Amino acid sequence: MGSSFGDRLKQERLARHLTQGELGGDLYSASYISLLENAHREPTVDIILQLARQLDLAPSSITVWAEGAATSKESGSLRLSLYAQQCWDTRDYLGAATNAQAAAELAQSNKDLVTWWNMTFLAANSLLRHGEECQAVQLLQTLLEHPITADSDALSLRAHQVISAASLAQGRLQESIEHGTLAVSIGSGDSEEEFGAYLMALQTLIGGLTESGRLDEAWMHTQTLADAVTDSTPAQMAGEIHWVIGNVAFIRADIRTGLEHHAKASRLLSPASDLSRWAQFNKATAWVRLMAGVVEPATLQAIERSELAHSVVGATLAETLEVSMLRARWHYLNNELPAALELLERIEKQKDELAPHIAGDSALLLGNALQAANRCPEAVAAYTDARERYTLAGALDRAAVAQDFMTELEPSHS
């Protein structure tokens, strides 16, 4: 049989983020799964049927892996798939995208649609993590247009969810909401994997609605998320759910509820499990705390954790600028205007690296700092810039806030 079955088994296991013990469940030990993956044991029919159930695959698709030796194209695709997964696990997202796309091309030429879909999806996710949102969306659109996706609710949900996330990162809020709504409308499915994807889609939709100022709709969806948390919910997933609920609560000016949920998220999320997500959580909790005017040691600690964790995981330029904005807002709220203005003016020089709604936040804060420094004509220009950026992103409530600041200043400084 060679290593084809074992390679495919390992590939599918890693794609689902399962350990060998989790794949084996109550029937097969982790060491036995290791023997299968390394071609030291031959799978029986019963084993194939059980593993198919564990992986949520058709038994016939697993049986094919055990039939004969792999072709050179199959071996090459499997090898590249494993490289891609290893790169993803070590946060080498560019390497993951490159290897995944190469694996997808070989799989497509070999008419292996399952591997083609999984590797294209991994490549899109990797590009998104690397900050290449446009390329990620192009790959995901290719997946959405393929019949294999149209015929599967589970695949459609995953593709729409990641397009929603990519659109949100680009500041295309309406597109993010549209794809997030489509993903959520598909439903939670029957498998644990589909339910996890559904919860992720809900979180992404909530993010888009919140950024667009549609807070009542966002809050309604957070209640669905809250109901999904049980004693058996994995800590990382529960932590991310509390993170999202807390974000919306803060922005709705329900500070007590926001603090409660973010405190739970902080206890549940672990830097050892996913340092990148832990960095993003600390950035998010610092951001909403500062927006709510919560200037206390816990907020400064979140800023410092975010700075440290992003420096370790290798942040994109956009992420680095967003973390700098945290410091700038901290300085502004503490009336340290020279330090705030120095950071904000540096960020403004690289504003094109930011999504429009985030660039709008930077310009609005710059206007506030300039106004506090009694540099009112410059403040009006910053508010004008903020209004335009928010309008471009579809964040019309925040565009109105910028307009209000302009209107306040313009009569006496025209």
Q: How far apart are CA 265 and CA 312, in angstroms?
A: 21
Which tokens sit at 106? 């070989």
Residues 309 and 282 sit within 8 Å (Cβ to Cβ): yes
User: 400-405 long-range CB contacts below 8 Å, 24 or more apart?
Assistant: 401/364, 402/360, 402/363, 402/364, 402/367, 405/364, 405/367, 405/368, 405/371, 405/379
Two structure tokens written together for 228 = 């999904």
| Least confident residue range of 122-131, 162-171, 204-213, 404-413 | 404-413
Backbone phi, then psi, for 179, in 5-degree steps? -70, -35
pLDDT in tens, 278-301: 999 999 999 999 999 999 999 999
Question: Quick one: tokens of 184?
Answer: 């959520």
Q: What's the pTM value of the predicted model, to 2 decimals?
A: 0.76
3-state secondary structure of 293: coil
Check: CB of residue 243 under 8 Å from CB of residue 286. no
**Residue 270 amino acid letter:** S
* CA 6 to mean position of chain CA atoms: 30
Selection from 80, 68, 89 nearest residue 109 by Cα: 80
Mean pLDDT of the chain: 88
Q: Taking CA 228 as the corner, what is the angle to CA 119 and CA 283, rounded to the nearest 5 degrees? A: 65
> What Cα–Cα distance (Å) separates residue 304 from each residue in 224, 282, 297, 326?
32, 9, 10, 10
pLDDT of 4: 64
pLDDT for position 411: 64
Asked if residues 156 and 163 have their Cβ atoms less than 8 Å apart, the reply is no
DSSP 8-state class, residue 271? T
Q: Encode pLDDT of 335-356 as tens digits.
A: 999 999 999 999 999 999 999 9
Q: Give the lowest-confidence range in 5-9, 222-226, 344-348.
A: 5-9
Phi and psi at 40, nearest 5°, equal -95, -5
List the end-to-end C-alpha distance of the chain, in Å, as a whole number. 80
What CA–CA distance (Å, rounded) separates 231 from 246? 19
Average pLDDT over residues 190-194: 75
- As given in the structure block, the two tokens for residue 281 are 């959580």
Q: What is the mean pLDDT of residues 187-207?
A: 87
**Cα within 13 Å of Cα(295), Cβ side:** 11
